[in-house]
Amino acid sequence: MASHGSANIWKRFAKGLRRFVLHPLGHFLLFIVFLYQVKEFYPFTHVPMYSDPEARAPYLYLADGEGAPLGVKSHSGITNPKMRKMYHSRMRSHCKEHRLDKHHPPQEALNQIGGEVVTFLRKYAIERGRPLPETLRLMHVLIEPAADGYTETVTLLYEDRPAP
Amino acid sequence: MIERLRKFLSHFHPRPVAAWELLIMRVLFALVVYKTLPNAGQIYDTQTSPNGIAHFVDLTFLAADGVYPALKIAMAAALAIYASGFLLPLVLPFILIAHVMIRTLFNSQGWIHHGVQMVSLVLLAQTLVVLTFLVYRLLKKRPFPLTGGRSMGSYFLFYSQMAIISIYVVSVVSKVDRSDGQWFAKSHYIGLHVVKAERDRYYGKLHDPPPGDVPAARIMLANPNLTRLFLGAGVLLELLAFLALYGRGAALAFSLSMIVFHRSIAALMSIYFHFNEMLLVIFLVNAPYWIVLIFRKSRAAPPPPAPATALDI
């Protein structure tokens, strides 16, 4: 008797599941689960931008040997956010590969990744006929909340100088 | 209660759609897809941070001499055929694969640009619909069963809308999960990102005035609850986006609200989602349908009464 009852429950469950899977909203929910599980695999994305707002927002900019800013997009065609994402993603991979603390990477890592990013930018700046100056600085700015709003702390991340 | 729920859910199905509506949508969407193709200078010959299929395939062949210009011409031809509505099972997979390859290479340089995924997802949805109809016909030796005035175009439109909406809904899942449920509590920190966006824009071209104070960011940081209210409205809109599949009216209401939200974010943070907005306009606002509907209703309405004359009085 009991087994007959449980068989009925399973039958009803299977019927309900089938109806859910065949219903367009079922397709929709399954696709949402799929997108979130896959994360970033073009064209699939879980849209992570601004999903975990932290009390710090870093950005980078490019400067010449005197510290004067340079328009990275005007020179290389690559926007400032793309330069920042490229730097951070390479740094993450480097730290993961060499088991380093990604929040406090050693100077060698800063030099290596900074050098790679600057080399990439120089290449496309030359292709566009807008070469970058020989001495280049990659500046890091950290925006943090403060009592009167926010503060911006500027540090030199990497300097690319011509060999003497 | 169950009956009401069943009735409510019965609305979430493909609806009849006119051939001319689909033609307009295909023409506009073809233009959008072409617009998302990068310039030749943005086809990089490296993929140092592979994304998507770049993990398995070396896509840098696209940067070889003459390959990308030829592919772009082939894409233009395929998009013209797509817009006409012919040979869809042939041209759609080609457009989808080419688009995914091109944009994947672009996203394999260490940055992930989130402005174009929706376009590829709509291409994917349309390809799946067209291929499902084709495979069904080949396997069952009869056409896909259609009822209630539906056509393949009904599914084509419905699943395109679903692809668009899924991006908004999954972004809410990310916000809840990645922030451990603390998104609303931390949302005022987006004020810091408003400053970052301002700086990013300036340091890209140095065209704007040099970076100064960002009052909007100060207001957001000083008024966390006000910020939560504003941003929370956007998140609620994203969460309820699936209701746009309820019907044409719901799709219009949602898409217009979403466009207003995108515009607000653009004004505040200089972050633009042009392609998302274009897809909302094409597949959810669907202005030609409403224009024709209003035109037909105005013509079908009884003529207004003639003005009173002296004799009537």
Q: Is A130 on the interface with B (CB under 8 A)?
A: no
Of B125, B153, B119, the closest CA to residue B20 belongs to B153
Helices H / strands E in chain A, number of each: 5, 4
Q: What is the pLDDT of residues B52-100, one digit of tens each?
A: 999 999 999 999 999 999 999 999 999 999 999 999 999 999 999 999 9
| B197, B269 Cβ separation under 8 angstroms | yes
How open is the CA angle B189-B192-B198, to the nearest 5 degrees?
145
Instruction: Confirm if B78 and B94 have CB atoms less than 8 A apart.
Output: yes
Q: Residue B311: what pLDDT? A: 43
Degrees, nearest 5: CA angle B10-B14-B18: 135
CA atoms in the 13 A half-sphere facing the CB of A82: 20
DSSP state of B146: -
Residue A58 to residue A32: CA distance in whole angstroms: 30
Is residue B50 exposed (0-12), middle (13-18) or buried (19+ Cβ within 10 Å)? Answer: middle
Tell me: pLDDT of B153 over 80.
yes
The CA distance from B47 to B59, in Å, is 8
Q: What residues of B are in contact with residue A35 (Cβ under 8 Å)?
A: 166, 170
Residue of B nearest to A72 (CA): B204
Matching residue, tokens 């037909």: B296
pLDDT of residue B312: 41
B49 alpha-carbon distance from chain centroid:
26
ipTM (interface predicted TM): 0.89
The predicted model scores a pTM of 0.89
Which pLDDT value is given to residue A18?
A: 85
What residues in A contact B217, CB-CB < 8 Å? 149-150
pLDDT score for B307: 55
Interface with A, mutate which of B200, B201, B245 (most A CBs under 10 A)? B200
Rg (CA), chain A: 25
Q: DSSP 3-state assignment of B186?
A: helix
Angle at A97 between CA A96 and CA A98, to 5 degrees: 95
The tokens for B196 are 């970052």
Q: What is the pLDDT of residues B171-187, one digit of tens each?
A: 999 999 999 999 999 99
Side by side, the strands of the sheet bearing A69-70 are: A69-70, A57-64, A136-146, A149-160
Q: What's the pLDDT at B41?
A: 83
Using an 8 Å Cβ cutoff, are B155 and A20 in contact?
A: no
Nearest to B79 by CA among B117, B42, B37, B41: B37
Bridge pairing between strands A149-160 and A136-146: antiparallel
Quick check: B37 and B287 in contact, CB under 8 A?
no
Cβ–Cβ below 8 Å for B192 and A144: yes
Instruction: Give me the amino acid identity at A38.
Output: V
For residues B72 and B76, give the distance between their C-alpha atoms in angstroms, rounded to a whole number: 6
Tokens of B91: 């041209």
Encoding tokens for residue A65? 């040997």
| Side chain identity, residue B221 | L
CA-CA-CA-CA torsion sign (A100, B193, B173, A84):
negative
Q: Which amino acid is at B222?
A: A
Question: In angstroms, what separates the C-alpha of A11 from chain B's closest C-alpha?
Answer: 19
Residues on chain B touching A84 (C-beta within 8 angstroms): 200
User: Measured between CA atoms, how close is A83 to chain B, in angstroms?
Assistant: 8
B166 CB neighbours in chain A (<8 A) are 28, 31-32, 35
Q: Please state, in angstroms and rounded to a whole number, the distance separating the CA atoms of residues B79 and B228.
A: 43
The whole-number pLDDT of residue A157 equals: 92
Tens digits of pLDDT across chain A (164 residues): 556 777 888 888 888 888 888 889 999 999 999 999 999 999 999 999 899 999 999 999 999 999 999 999 999 999 999 999 999 999 999 999 998 888 888 889 989 999 999 999 999 999 999 999 999 999 999 999 998 889 999 999 999 887 77
Does residue A83 contact residue A75 with C-beta atoms inside 8 Å?
no
CB pairs under 8 A between A and B: 189
CA distance A116 to B110: 11
Give yes or no for a contact between A17 and B158, defined as CB atoms under 8 angstroms apart: no
Within an 8 Å CB–CB cutoff, is residue A101 touching chain B?
no
Q: Which of B190, B183, B184 is nearest to B220 (CA)?
A: B190
